[in-house]
Structures are given as structure tokens and as C-alpha cells.
Amino acid sequence: MNDLRHAPARLLVVDDNKVNRLLLTRSLEMQGHSVSSAENGRVALEMLRRNPVDLVLLDMEMPEMDGFEVLEQMINDPQLRDMPVIVTSSLEGIANVVRCIELGAEDYLAKPINPVLLKARIGASLEKKRLRDQQKEMVRRFAAPEVVQDLQDSGFALGGKRVDATALFCDIRNFTALAETQPPEETIELLNTYYALMFDAVGSHGGMVTVMMGDGFMAVFGAPSPLSDHAQCAVQAAQEMVELIELFNHERRAVDKPPIAIGVGVASGEMVAGYAGTQERATFTCIGDTVNLAARLEAHTKIALRPILTDGATRARLAADTGVEALGPIQFKGKANAVEVFAVAGSMASG
């Protein structure tokens, strides 16, 4: 089995002292790593910004730009922030070591460096970096980029905050019946194509899919990052979704497959956005009356026989030229008062 602790890595040695630089480079090359070197902090940062590495071995006492300044610049640079640094120095005084660690250094090795210790520390640092990279990759795959950014900027905390946003619900009409008429492999393939098209429409209008369930999903426009014209964006995304399904149906007809239809409900207003779940497992979600209304509107598309339905709050924020038809007040289950419902033309051209 391949031991990842000793897998070759790209390393950068930063030291103004030629003997130290040559010695450390040699030791690391003998451990099988690919090593480049820089003679001061300024050169090192230039190299790192051009060619990122897996690990930096950084001397502190250097002319032009010392190690402390390098650490400071790295911590403030999103591109370099996560790159691990092992300080290799013969600095005197524990206060200096503490300062390095506080500035984000992963470890500290006193010179002259013991080769066995060097190997162990590098192995541990690389392994930690690999796990971090893997974690980031997993987060990227299972969470929207907006959520990843929000988590990176603000950290994770259960609980929510009130936001002004637009919720969108969508599902495939008669999906259960359709699924029963074809093999499951074909259903999965259909779902994957459907989701790819819908995610694209949502994402390209600044929205984010928060929940997926079977053939249905919920998307939010305006959270976690604020979006000034979230209602307009959501409605445009809904129109694009309907158009994309029409194009998709064109392809399906060509191979003698039945067309599919979607229903979309859009509602705007205040909602609570945040992370719900447990400390171990949580998801970004939006809840509140506005979200419930969007779900009700989506369900009502079956009765209204219109692909996109929206509420008065969304309607009021749309551009004047958006094709909208008032369907009158509808009494929804769980709502005290009747809600004014509007149908949005499925395609921007046919408005």
C-alpha cells in the first residue's frame, strides 16, 4: 500500500544562508521530494504566487523580507493562506517561536535540523494538508460554492438570520408515473440531465439550490449572499428552466421519448437563512412563510396548468416588461388569508 506520508511533494526552501539552503534542499531531495529554493522572503512570495507548493520550509532571519513578514503576507492572501509552513530557524527565544505559531506556522524546527525529525514533521504536515484538501473537495462536492464561501468567511454556527430573499420550488410533473414506465437506469439518467439543466439556470442567475428531493428541489436567491434584485433573478431563472426543458423535450421527441413538464413556484419576502441540523451534520437552509408559499405555488401549478406561478411580493419587484397574468386570489392550505397568484410567461420571448 502506498504510504502517503512519504509520497513525493513539491516543497519550497526559503533561507538566505547558502549552506543551510543547500543542506536542507539536499535532505529533502533525498527523501524523494521535488524542491525549489529562494534566498529571501520577497523572492519566495513571488515564486509561491506563480507556482503553489505543498509545503514551505521558512527561515526567519533574512535580509530584504524576513520570515515574519512572509508569514503575515501568506495569512492575508487567500491563495496562500492554507499552504502549510514549517519554520526552520535558529532564532533565540521562545517568544519568537510563539510569534511564528501565532502567525500560522504549522511547526517549528530548530537548526541544525535533525534529519529524522525533519522527515517526520514533513510527513505529518503533508498528511494534514492532504486531509484538509480532501475535506475541502468533499465540501465542494456536497455544498454550493456560496455556502463554502460563507463558511470560510464566517465560520460554522447553527442558527439563522432574517434575510430578504426569494424562494423557488420546482419539480417534474407526473414524475412517479413516468418513472414507473421506464427502467431505473433511465430514470437516473433523466434526473441527472434535468438537474444539470436546472442547476445551470439557477446558478447563472445568482441563485443556489439548497434542497434536492427526488425530482424536486428548492433554490434561494439572496442568501447566503445578498442579491439586490433577487425576485427578478429568480423569475428569470424560472423562465430559463422552462425554456431548457422545452429544448430537452425536443431532443427526447427525436428519440421517441415522452416529453416532461415542470412546475415552478416563486415567492419573495422575509425568511430565516442559516444552518440547521446538529454540530456533526448540518445543512444550509431557508425557512419561513415565504418559503412555504413558494412550495404551495409550485404545487398549485398542477391545478392552474401554468408552468410558473408567483406571489404579489415577487410581482411587485419585477421589471415592467415581464409577462405576468393575474389569476386572482387563491386560498392555500395552512394560510389564513387568500393569496394573489400570478402566472409568469414560461419564456421571455413569449411574454
Partner 1 sequence: MTTPTIDRATYDTLAEATGAEFARELIDTFLQEAPVMLDDLRQALTSRDANRFRRAAHSLKSNANTFGALALGAMARTLEIDGAAMADDQKAQAVVALDEEYARVAMALSGMRDE
Q: Which is nearer to partner 1, 48 or 70 (CB)?
A: 70
Three-state SS for 67? helix
Tell me the DSSP string of 248-294: HHHHHHHTT-----EEEEEEEEEEEEEEEE-SSSEEEEEESHHHHHH
Residue 19 near partner 1 by CB under 8 A: yes
Among 22, 117, 120, 157, binds partner 1 (CB under 8 A): 22
Residue 26 near partner 1 by CB under 8 A: yes
Three-state SS for 138? helix
Q: Which is nearer to partner 1, 112 or 329 (CB)?
A: 112
**Partners of residue 159 on adjacent β-strands:** 275
The angle at the Cα of 54, spanning 48 to 58, to the nearest 5 degrees, equals: 60
What mask of x and - would describe binding to partner 1 in positions 113 to 142, judged by CB under 8 A?
A: --x---------------------------
Q: At what angle do helices 115-142 and 145-154 cross, to 10 degrees?
A: 130
Residue 127 Cβ vs partner 1, minimum distance, rounded to whole Å? 22
Give the total of residues touching partner 1 (CB under 8 A): 17
Output the CA–CA distances (angstroms, integers) from residue 78 to 82, 127, 310, 320, in the order listed: 8, 21, 40, 41
- In which element (H, E) is residue 44 found? helix 41-50
Of 108-116, 125-133, 312-320, 342-350, the segment contacting partner 1 by CB under 8 A is 108-116
- Asked if 340 and 312 count as a contact pair (C-beta separation under 8 A), the reply is yes
Of 99-107, 110-118, 131-139, 333-341, the segment contacting partner 1 by CB under 8 A is 110-118
Residue 302 near partner 1 by CB under 8 A: no
Residue 110 Cβ vs partner 1, minimum distance, rounded to whole Å? 10
Residue 81 Cβ vs partner 1, minimum distance, rounded to whole Å? 29
The binding site for partner 1 (CB under 8 A) comprises 16-20, 22-23, 26-27, 30, 61, 63, 90, 92, 111-112, 115
